[in-house]
Chain A
């Protein structure tokens, strides 16, 4: 217990890993992640929270108390012996089955979505200076044209950060864009439409400020420097979140970006509601205006996300996911994607998850048939 208390004492604000962990009372990303806007490597506090508050104790020896569980959350199954270096390995893979049960169209495959090795250097009081490298494997998207020479091994993140005060920090390097709720589903319309998916990191500078009951992020970026200059999306974004009624968050984001062929302006409002005991609701509604250089597109798309996480007991979350997308708000056509899911943190370092998705599009006079898909996911971290 003293180890847990020591870690809790070192940090002054709450923390979470996934956005839905606001249901555990954690409103801000900062203390569980080195990136103040979440994603990427967990810090020591995050690893302890993951082990002692999030994960089930189903596989934990009965002789272990919570202090022992926290101690074992380190990379080498013990508390690190030095303060300046942290390493992590993260794997995520899943079996995806599209059109299950269809003799003609069923398609099933296993996808190794992510295998990352992470090295973090940190110095100073409260990790004032950090340097993060997140390097690993991610498959080329299925729609990538044949003959593309891109490597599937690459840097997902690399950046340095310095917190001038506990409230204010600056970060520079390759990072995720700061926009909206960072849900894990990279196919979510709320991530695809504003182009904040798993491969959309950009080089830039990010400022982060956390006040008593609000949090602000501002980012200027010059695109992905590994891409040809004409493809790099240059721009900036701002996201503001405010704590309401002590336990919930409401927020708003705006982002403008452009390359030589495309201009995007995205804006959204979101909320994360704490239903207590680990349960939560996430919701986001936004629009993206897209203008293309060749005049083929000047449309505004609208996207919506509603996710509920219900936690009957430690380690287990029942999910419901509803998404809305209208690619041109001048038209009545829209797409709905919905489905249930279950997320189980079997023990620290092991997350199992199953999701079902049904996608259906509706036009003025017709609609597509239901398009079913399910995912069985394994997430391991060390």
Chain B
């Protein structure tokens, strides 16, 4: 019996965090509080590119599931991508202060343009 408990102890003491620990949040079903098709596209780009840092360390971007959430946080100014901090900070913007994402690849132009289109056309 003591060997059985030892075996159970070993199995129960494994690490339960690894590369897949966040898969449910990153890749599982998502219910957005927004019907704007531009937003749903932007949401997945932001999830993929930004949320791994901008969720627990700094802020709660994973919870921003509507246009109103982003506007209320001040990161996005409706119709003004050139002055929206979210857009300005992206390295593709070309400004000296732009440094996001800090590593792991800048945004492909298609993704950057999708974000700009979203902010520009927020209803």
State whether these chains interact: yes
Interface string of A17-55 (1 = CB under 8 A from B): 000000000000000000000000000000000000000
Query: Which residue of the partner chain, among B44, B94, B102, B106, contacts A296 with CB atoms under 8 Å?
Result: B44
**Given A328-B108, A363-B92, A296 and B48 touching (CB < 8 A)?**
yes
Is the C-beta of A256 less than 8 angstroms from some C-beta in chain B?
no
Is the C-beta of A58 less than 8 angstroms from some C-beta in chain B?
no
Q: Interface size (B, Cβ < 8 Å)?
A: 42
Q: By the criterion CB–CB under 8 Å, are A231 and B24 in contact?
A: yes
Is the C-beta of B21 less than 8 angstroms from some C-beta in chain A?
yes
Interface string of A152-165 (1 = CB under 8 A from B): 01111010000000
Is the C-beta of B35 less than 8 angstroms from some C-beta in chain A?
no
Q: By the criterion CB–CB under 8 Å, are A262 and B20 in contact?
A: yes
Q: By the criterion CB–CB under 8 Å, are B14 and A225 in contact?
A: yes
Interface residues of B (CB under 8 A from A): 10-24, 26-30, 44, 47-48, 52-53, 55-57, 91-92, 94, 99, 101-110
Interface string of A58-95 (1 = CB under 8 A from B): 00000000000000000000000000000000000000
Q: Helix, strand, loop or mixed for chain B's interface?
A: loop
Q: How far is it, in angstroms, between the C-alpha of A226 and the C-alpha of B101 when the chains are bound?
A: 32
Min Cβ gap B19→A in Å is: 4
Q: Which residues of B contact A369 (CB under 8 A)?
A: 99
Q: By the criterion CB–CB under 8 Å, are B18 and A227 in contact?
A: yes
Interface residues of A (CB under 8 A from B): 133, 135, 138, 140-146, 148, 150-151, 153-156, 158, 174, 192, 195, 197, 199-201, 224-227, 230-233, 259-262, 292-294, 296-297, 325-328, 331-335, 359, 361-369, 371
Q: Helix, strand, loop or mixed for chain A's interface?
A: loop
**Given A296-B48, A369-B99, A233 and B30 touching (CB < 8 A)?**
no
Q: How far is it, in angstroms, between the C-alpha of A146 and the C-alpha of B26 when the chains are bound?
A: 16
Q: By the criterion CB–CB under 8 Å, are B17 and A199 in contact?
A: yes
Minimum CB distance partner of A325 in chain B: B105
Minimum CB distance partner of B56 in chain A: A145
- A sample of 29 cross-chain residue pairs with beta-carbon separation below 8 angstroms, ordered by A number, consists of A135-B10, A143-B52, A143-B56, A150-B15, A155-B10, A192-B19, A195-B19, A199-B18, A199-B19, A201-B14, A224-B16, A227-B18, A231-B20, A259-B20, A259-B23, A261-B24, A292-B27, A293-B27, A294-B30, A294-B44, A331-B108, A334-B105, A335-B105, A363-B92, A363-B109, A364-B109, A368-B91, A369-B99, A371-B102
